């Protein structure tokens, strides 16, 4: 995918060399990702030959491959690092800054994939799609579900979006076609520039109002703090649905399990967990009003294949006329 993108810029890129980091095994690479996210990049082995290859390089493009202080010391001519993912834990940012190396990353690389998945989770949980599928496969023609008698359509519902970054805005955009009213709570004051959104149907509100008034609440903030717990679940409508495809640490899952068990909210759909794979003893597994997926939201071919080209377009525009890249990580 990187080669395909780089080939389109063969007129300005004189020479390229390619290396494969890691192993062709998803389970093994999941452990590698965990080590990278725990800042163990210096302990990971990079492909043989990379240190020699970067000696004359002006640009390095990676996905997960560590760009360590040692590797950077082998690249005296390096000007740009392009990281095709949102996280930059695999990059020694301090050393890149010290060297004046420009770092681009791509937190939007799987934004559309996640946004589409969120819409899918809304339908799956509200319309009992997964539960019906499981029942049919077991030979059961199931007619009664936890929300029977209260099954509603997405149109005209109020959807609360917590966090209005790349994913949150795309979720808002996609919900426009369903006629939803949108409530947004975001710590940043973002300009309303997206022409595909009817801003008359969007209200920026405080956190508590969003929790109280929303029929569906979807979490898209980026924080290491817990922001949704027992207090928030108690404030929600008894018919409300809660969705999390963001980070598990932001939600008290014990409180969510209790709220679902007592039917204090209508249902939930969860894609991320504190421990993955999910423990067999997890209380979610005993509940019938929750849809569970195994961290699938951003996993599409497009999210990987489109990123290198997007990064190179931004870099080319910057080199041509100084247009600031959208995701220039270490911009002063």
Backbone dihedral angles phi then psi of residue 189, each to the nearest 5 degrees = -90, 100
Whether residue 75 contacts residue 55, with contact meaning beta carbons closer than 8 Å, is answered with yes
- Residue entry with tokens 């409180």: 255
CA distance 127 to 121: 10
Question: Which are the catalytic amino acids?
Answer: 247, 276, 295
Which residues neighbour 295 within 8 Å (Cβ) at sequence distance 6 or greater? Answer: 271, 272, 273, 276
Helical H runs in the chain? 2-7, 26-37, 50-53, 69-73, 93-99, 111-126, 129-137, 166-175, 207-213, 230-235, 253-261, 301-305, 307-321
Could you tell me the two tokens for 136? 């049919």
Residue 105 phi, psi dihedral angles, 5° rounding: -130, 180
Phi, psi (degrees; rounded to nearest 5) at 39: 60, 40
Query: Are the CB atoms for 54 and 66 separated by under 8 Å?
Result: no
Distance (Å, whole) CA 216 – CA 254: 20
DSSP strand pairing (102-105 vs 290-292): unpaired
Q: Can you tell me the distance from the alpha carbon of 274 to that of 109, in angstroms, rounded to the nearest whole number?
A: 23
Residue with tokens 């006629």: 179
């Amino acid at each position: 995918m990187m080669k395909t993108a780089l080939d389109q810029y063969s007129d300005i890129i004189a020479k390229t060399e390619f290396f494969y980091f890691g192993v062709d095994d998803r389970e093994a690479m999941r452990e590698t990702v965990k080590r990278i996210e725990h800042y163990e990049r210096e302990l990971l082995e990079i492909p043989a030959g990379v240190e020699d290859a970067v000696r004359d390089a002006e640009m390095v493009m990676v996905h997960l491959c560590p760009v360590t202080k040692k590797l950077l010391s082998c690249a005296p001519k390096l000007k740009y690092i392009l990281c095709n993912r949102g996280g930059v834990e695999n990059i020694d940012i301090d050393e890149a800054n010290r060297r004046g190396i420009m770092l681009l990353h791509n937190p939007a690389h799987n934004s559309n994939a996640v946004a589409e998945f969120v819409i899918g989770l809304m339908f799956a949980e509200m319309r009992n799609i997964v539960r019906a599928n499981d029942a049919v496969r077991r030979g059961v023609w199931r007619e009664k579900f936890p929300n029977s008698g209260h099954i509603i359509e997405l149109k005209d519902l109020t959807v609360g979006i917590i966090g209005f970054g790349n994913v949150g805005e795309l979720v808002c955009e996609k919900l426009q076609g369903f006629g939803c009213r949108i409530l947004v709570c975001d710590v940043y004051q973002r300009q309303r520039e997206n022409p595909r959104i009817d801003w008359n149907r969007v209200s920026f509100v405080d956190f508590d109002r969003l929790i109280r008034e929303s029929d569906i609440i979807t979490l898209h903030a980026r924080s290491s703090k817990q922001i949704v717990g027992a207090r928030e679940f108690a404030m929600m409508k008894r018919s409300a649905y809660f969705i999390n495809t963001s980070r598990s640490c932001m939600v008290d899952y014990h409180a969510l399990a209790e709220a679902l068990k007592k039917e204090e909210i209508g249902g939930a759909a969860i894609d991320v967990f504190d421990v993955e794979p999910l423990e067999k003893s997890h209380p979610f597994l005993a509940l019938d009003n929750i849809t569970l997926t195994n961290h699938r939201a951003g996993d599409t071919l497009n999210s990987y294949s489109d990123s290198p080209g997007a990064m190179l377009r931004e870099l080319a525009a910057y080199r041509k006329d100084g247009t600031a890249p959208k995701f220039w990580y270490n911009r002063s």
